[in-house]
Every structure is written in C-alpha cells, then in structure tokens.
A = this chain, B = another copy of it.
Amino acid sequence: MSKCEQCIVRQLNSLNELTKDELIRISACKTSKVIKKGEILFNEGEYINGVFCIKDGVCKVTKMSDNGRDQIIKLVKKGDLLGERSLISEEAANLRATALNDLEVCFIPKEEIVKDLKQNNNFTMSMLKELAVSLREADDVIVDMAQKTVKQRLAETLLYLHNNYTKTENGALEIQLSRDDIASIIGTATESAIRLLSSFKKDELIKLKGKDIFILNPEKLKKIAEGF
C-alpha cells in the first residue's frame, strides 16, 4: 500500500496543506480502489462518508435532470478531490461520479478529514479557497448555459479540453468522450452535438478520427465561443 506522504498527486490539492504527522495518520486509514471504465464511483443520493482523491484517470460528474437526461457538471482528473462538497455540507451526494477510463482512487474516511479541518487552519483555508474558485467557475457555466448557443458552448468545451487535458503523441485529446458525453457537457441532444462537430470538421477547426479529436484551430474556436 502506497503512502500519502510520498504521493505526488496530493501536491495538486488541499491535502498538501496537511502536516507530515497528519498525512501519516491519514495514510494509515485510507483505502485504495480501482474503478473500471464505465463503472460508478458513487451515486446521487448516496452518503459517501469521506473524500476521494483521484490518483489516476478521468471521471465524469453528472446530475440527472427532472426530464431524465444526464448533465455533466464537470470532469475530474488526476489530483482532484471528489466528495468534499457533500462532506462539508453534510448532505448526501448531489452528483454521480462515473469513470471515463480505468480509475485509481484513494478513499479517506470523513472523520479523518473533519478532524484535520478542525485542527489545521491552513488546510481549512485551502479547502475554503478551492470551493470559492469552484463557485466562480460554476457561475461562469450558468451564464454560458443560459445565454450562449449550443455552437458556442461546443467551441468552448473543445477549447477547455484542449487547454486542460494532455494529448497523445499524435496530437489527439487523450480523454475519450463519447458523442453522448460531449452532448451532455454542453447540454444538448446527441444529434445536435454530432452535427456541430461535423460542421467544425468541415471548417477545419478540428479533425475527427473515431473517438479521437484533434484541435486544429484554437484561436478560431475561441472566437466562435465568444460569439464571432
């Protein structure tokens, strides 16, 4: 079993504010898990009773709307925490997390996190700051969803993937999203997403090869995202 003290991933989130002693304590009681592609890490309505730390892989975080369609709220990758929000507000999970590829995660029980929140102010402040940033990002998404066209949102999403995810050596985006996933990020029907993707392809903004997506012209995509 690997140790938290030596984990590189931890550097990427609030856990890097923990002291060595705190890390050793947490390392002793954390559990590791491997989630296969397509499997569900946790479900809307579940009480998670802890926090997940993503060691490797990508995971989609979705919420079911009243009309029965899934909406992807965010993508979560190596180094991100998952479940902190529900833990802090002491609510059931408001979202479902599903692995997009094979996922390695660590699970830290609630009591341990709560203990550190109470005694380590740096940790608490760092968590507070992370939530504050998430909240701004959520505000931005609200505006986009409310005001932008599907085309603009697709352009924005492609840009986001381009800027935040690694590429394979041939230049394709490393994350493999289904057409359904893409549609469910931008909040539209799968067919609409597909049609817009092909139109972007015709305009040589992107290239499509199976599930591989190549971003050819980020500048132009940015202009589209902002409304020409």
Contacts and interface: CB of A to CB of B under 8 A. Distances in A.
A148 B67 CA distance: 8
A63 B139 CA distance: 8
A127 B69 CA distance: 33
Given A73-B142, A138-B138, A139-B94, A65 B124 contact: no
A135 B86 CA distance: 10
A88 to B, nearest CB: 4
Nearest to A67: B227
A196 interface: no
Interface of A is mostly: helix
Nearest to A142: B141
A132 interface: yes
Interface in A198-227: 225-227
Q: Please state the number of chain copies in the assembly.
A: 2
A148 B127 CA distance: 32
Given A67-B148, A95-B139, A147-B187, 14 more contacts: A63-B139, A65-B144, A65-B146, A73-B139, A73-B143, A88-B132, A89-B129, A124-B128, A131-B135, A138-B138, A138-B139, A141-B142, A142-B145, A146-B186
Interface of A: 63, 65-67, 69, 71, 73, 84-86, 88-91, 94-95, 117-118, 121, 124-125, 127-129, 131-136, 138-148, 152, 186-187, 225-227
